[in-house]
A and B are shown apart, each in its own frame.
Chain A
């Protein structure tokens, strides 16, 4: 009798999981349908012609680029070099060394002839003590500040304190920007005369690309399956997810790797939160909250152009650490702002974004892991109907592999950044394998991340850099 109950219970759970995954898949398709018309509309648009004017326009707001760096000796010089060659009328680059224990500062100091300066800094936020500041003798617009370790958010806040322009951009020390990235990302802000308060661009993975002195010379695929899968994952997140959210002004994430923000609004909401590992998402949620609380008409936008290239983790250990950190960050942000969940005051954010991030982005891993146990355990111990197990498996293939392969097709249809026919085929085939190994790994790490969310501590990601951007 008890066994029957157990079997019935597992059947119900199984159908629940199947229903859940179909619903999540349908949401993805809806997001794709929302994003599709815009991608199609702008597909043939000449982006370079569009920004020609901005590069000489005196109304293109000056911008401070903040590069928080913790143990980034492998890539920081290339990052800075790529930033110094950006096509933008007026900007400054501020590298914030957050108490690195490696040679991050030495590399910047020797490469760019940094000289010590004495400063009077406006203090918008309290941050870890700034121990020293430098300015480059070669590039007057390049600064390096050294501070006591306080985490990435603290480093960004210190950078905001130091910056002098009305907009700032946050970029990771392991990322490089395309030459016109800032112009493209600032365009919505300029066109809207300030109505857009923050923008983010598409981030791509640089592993495998040929990079010379901070410039992507040839786009190519990496060799490691782990890296290729991350490329596909980024396609899926950026092309299907974010654009759809941005279209209806309910985007909750601007990637920490690259975003542009109106400084006054960020100061108004109190800067980056230092006691979370998901400071990028948390800030965006707070910005949305303040916009809605003020009944302001400002927006947060995402531009679909691939403008930022970042180094993806290439080892199991570093990828695991990154995913655990992301999941913790997501959980912490959703918990901090839980009052927004299903709150009609926050309209689309409260009624759609928040539930989406909670039930799809945060909890999907839990459902999928339960599904794995049910499929394997059920078949081994015969407490589940094999038909149900097979249906669940097929749904997983639909939700994992087929959606990802759709993203690969979408990328090729829109940007076709990868120059050979072979690369589309490789990406497509890898996408089809996602359900069988990559997604399983991700889901276990994401569940681990959920457990870790209960232990709070402000840390930097301890990603092992192999230095795709390294010049050595």
Chain B
């Protein structure tokens, strides 16, 4: 028995020492490889900037070896794209990416590990590799699990304006509102109209798709879809109305201010709150008195919203100060005081 235990401990220790030895070798190699890449990057970056800016006729020569070329180019282009404020011509960056990286990513999508495939998808999108549009779509069709790879592949297809994913965006179950918005953000106006068409044709459209479309357009202040969003404040579903009101806050306008009147007296506190927000967002001073009345609403959020939006008017602070000092209602005084002292941004 004792011998067995001694052998187990010695055996495990030996295995660990072997792994440690391998890890040390691997780490030393990785550090030297990384140094090599960093050195190449440091010397090539200025040369490539000159080349991209057109101040250098011939392309600088990359280190030998496909793998190191791919790594250097990927790192360099990633840095260029993330720090590019328009100084570097995107067309040239894209040409370099197509030349050095597209074949590599195509192979990775076919044969890479899960993490490698996702990384490839991130870069396909970042570098806008149009030549891989079909590959990305075909890869998407193979995916069964709704995980990060699925989501990133859909993002890539949307970025590359692949219209075959539109039915997926609208009909696929399990996509969150936030994720659908991410996809809408990537689509051009033509595809957005196609989405709207599907939404309007489909009576049983999933609520999260509708929410995403309404909210997204408000956030982006998309003029072509304003009337669709505004129409939705008359929807029979409360949640849709709220989303539309929220979206209109982002647009910062409504076509006719009187449409707000019924919402100030709504039985739902959320609608009273959004009505207050809209009065501020659309700069409607005619509702100042109504907002002052809402300072004594039974619900804290409505009071908060009313106070917050009174403050947006030029004389808002004076009005709140007056309420804080003289109003008979303790709730109103309290919330006015709170708003005067805590000048945070507009709350979410």
Contacts and interface: CB of A to CB of B under 8 A. Distances in A.
Contact of B27 (A92, A118, A191, A416): A416
A50 interface: yes
Interface in A53-89: 53, 57-59, 61-62
Given A46-B122, A398-B9, A409 B338 contact: no
Nearest to A398: B9
B345 A190 contact: no
Contacts of A43: 115
B251 interface: no
Contacts of B345: 90, 140-141
A201 B27 CA distance: 25
Contacts of A192: 176
B24 A58 contact: no
A375 interface: no
Contacts of B344: 92, 140-141, 164
B2 interface: yes
Interface stretch (B177-185, B271-279, B309-317): B177-185
A118 B337 contact: yes
Contact of A46 (B16, B119, B176): B119
B19 to A, nearest CB: 5
A59 B116 CA distance: 27
A102 interface: no
B23 interface: yes
A135 B31 CA distance: 46
A217 interface: no
Nearest to B118: A45
Contacts of A62: 348
A394 B179 CA distance: 53
A218 B75 CA distance: 21
Interface in B256-314: 300
B116 A117 contact: no
A160 to B, nearest CB: 15
Nearest to B34: A419
Contacts of A297: none
Nearest to A408: B20
A413 interface: yes
B23 A424 contact: yes
Contact of B337 (A46, A120, A387, A425): A120
B19 A409 contact: yes
A11 to B, nearest CB: 13
> Which of A59, A119, A395, A424 gathers most chain B CB within 10 Å?
A59
B42 to A, nearest CB: 18
Contacts of A144: none
Interface string A364-405: 000000000000000000000001001100110110001001
B178 A193 contact: yes
A44 B181 CA distance: 28
Contact of B342 (A117, A402, A428): A117
Contacts of A44: 113, 115-116, 119
Given A46-B119, A59-B181, A391-B2, A424 B20 contact: yes
B122 A120 contact: no
Contacts of A419: 31
Nearest to B6: A394
Contacts of B338: 118-120
B334 interface: yes
A149 B116 CA distance: 51
B8 to A, nearest CB: 7
Interface in B224-273: none
A190 B23 contact: no
Contacts of A398: 8-9, 12
Given A45-B119, A413-B23, A394 B13 contact: no
A238 B305 CA distance: 43
A412 interface: yes
B171 interface: no
Nearest to B344: A140
Contacts of A59: 177-178, 181-182
Interface size class of A (residues with CB under 8 A): 35 or more
A472 interface: no
Contacts of B12: 398, 402
B48 interface: no
B50 interface: no
A62 B344 CA distance: 13
Nearest to A389: B2
B341 A395 contact: no
B341 A117 contact: yes
A122 B300 contact: yes
A118 B23 contact: no
A292 B13 CA distance: 42
Contacts of B6: 394
A184 to B, nearest CB: 13
A120 B335 contact: yes
A406 B13 CA distance: 10
Given A41-B114, A398-B12, A118 B341 contact: yes
A409 B23 contact: yes
Contact of A190 (B20, B114, B178, B219): B178
A401 to B, nearest CB: 9
A164 B347 contact: yes
Given A49-B119, A387-B2, A402-B13, A193 B24 contact: no
Contacts of A120: 334-335, 337-338
A84 B345 CA distance: 16
Interface string B174-199: 00111101100000000000000000
A141 B345 CA distance: 8
A471 interface: no
B151 interface: yes
A177 to B, nearest CB: 21
B28 A421 contact: yes
B1 A193 contact: no
A239 to B, nearest CB: 15
A409 B20 contact: yes
> Which of B23, B24, B114, B345 gathers most chain A CB within 10 Å?
B23
The 8 tightest CB contacts between A and B, nearest first, are: A193-B176, A120-B338, A59-B178, A49-B122, A44-B115, A45-B115, A117-B341, A118-B341
Given A49-B122, A140-B343, A193-B178, 10 more contacts: A59-B177, A118-B338, A120-B334, A120-B335, A191-B176, A191-B179, A394-B6, A412-B23, A413-B23, A424-B24
Interface of A: 41-46, 49-50, 52-53, 57-59, 61-62, 90, 92, 117-120, 122, 135, 140-141, 164-166, 190-193, 387, 390-391, 394-395, 397-398, 402, 405-406, 409, 412-413, 416, 419, 421, 424-425, 428
24 contacts: A44-B113, A49-B122, A50-B148, A58-B219, A59-B177, A59-B178, A117-B342, A118-B341, A135-B343, A140-B343, A164-B344, A191-B148, A192-B176, A193-B178, A391-B2, A391-B5, A394-B9, A397-B9, A398-B12, A413-B23, A416-B27, A421-B27, A425-B20, A428-B20
